[in-house]
A and B are shown apart, each in its own frame.
Chain A
């Protein structure tokens, strides 16, 4: 399991190469990269700052990945999430999942991302021409996470 919270940018190619290096059982590598958009809620975004809860963040991400490993037969997973000041088009997050086949890899990657959006303690503050504002949580993100709820879970 590989979890990193960092200010520095990351190189997707070298991260994916490292994730699959030396493991010929891996037949599928699914990845998602989240980027800073230059518009949100009808306003231009000039820059963004990501705040987090050090300690809890890493723990929450590790628990989400552990849950993905419990649900799907995946071989390995990687989550990198940036914090600090970011500009439009900058990379924010990378989720990558290695598995034997694509079905598990795709599903686990989407699951990790949906749970990260609603359970990992990160907060976005964006600067628009009208001033700075904290980004509101979206109902659509809650609904996306809700899809993965298992019957009988609390």
Chain B
């Protein structure tokens, strides 16, 4: 099972802040998960089209080619704007 989080403007656009998903066969990294979610269509396409989308795996900043395993916590979000 994957725990997935969405934050800020992306969370609003998708209408949800988190979900749980069985790690689908053939999804081995962050980019593959992003593409799978974007294929849901509608607002989800923004995962594929958003400029500068950021990723975290297990609460560490990650990259599209960061590997995923069952049990991982993945997050998608826009560039951070704190401080």
Interface on A for B, CB 8 Å cutoff? 34, 50-53, 55-56, 59-60, 81, 92-93, 113, 116-125, 134-137, 141
B78 with A53: CB separation less than 8 A: no
Q: Which residues of B contact A134 (CB under 8 A)?
A: 8-9, 12, 78, 81
Complex CA distance for A6 and B59, rounded to whole angstroms:
19
CB-based A-B contact count at 8 angstroms = 77
Docked Cα-Cα span, A59 to B83, in Å, equals 16
B39 within 8 A of A: no
With an 8 Å Cβ cutoff, the count of chain B residues facing the other chain is 19
Would you call B80 and A118 a contact (CB within 8 A)? yes
Is residue B44 within 8 Å, beta carbon to beta carbon, of the partner chain? no
Instruction: Determine whether B79 belongs to the interface, using a CB cutoff of 8 Å to chain A.
Output: yes
Q: Which residues of A contact B21 (CB under 8 A)?
A: none
Report the Cα distance A141→B77, complex, angstroms: 17
B78 touches A123 (CB 8 A): yes
Chain B residues 33 to 83 lying within 8 A of chain A, measured CB to CB, are 52, 56, 59-61, 75, 77-83
Bound-complex Cα distance A92 to B52 (A): 25
Measured CB to CB, the closest approach of chain A to B69, in angstroms, equals 18
Contact in complex: B83, A137 (CB < 8 Å): no
Please pick, from A81, A93, A136, the residue contacting B81 in the complex, using a CB distance under 8 A.
A136
Identity of the chain A residue whose Cβ is nearest the Cβ of B12 in the assembled complex: A134
Query: A121 with B78: in contact, given A53-B56, A55-B59, A56-B59 (CB under 8 Å)?
Result: no
Q: How far is the CB of A105 from chain B (nearest CB, A)?
A: 19
Q: Are A137 and B8 in contact (CB under 8 A)?
A: no
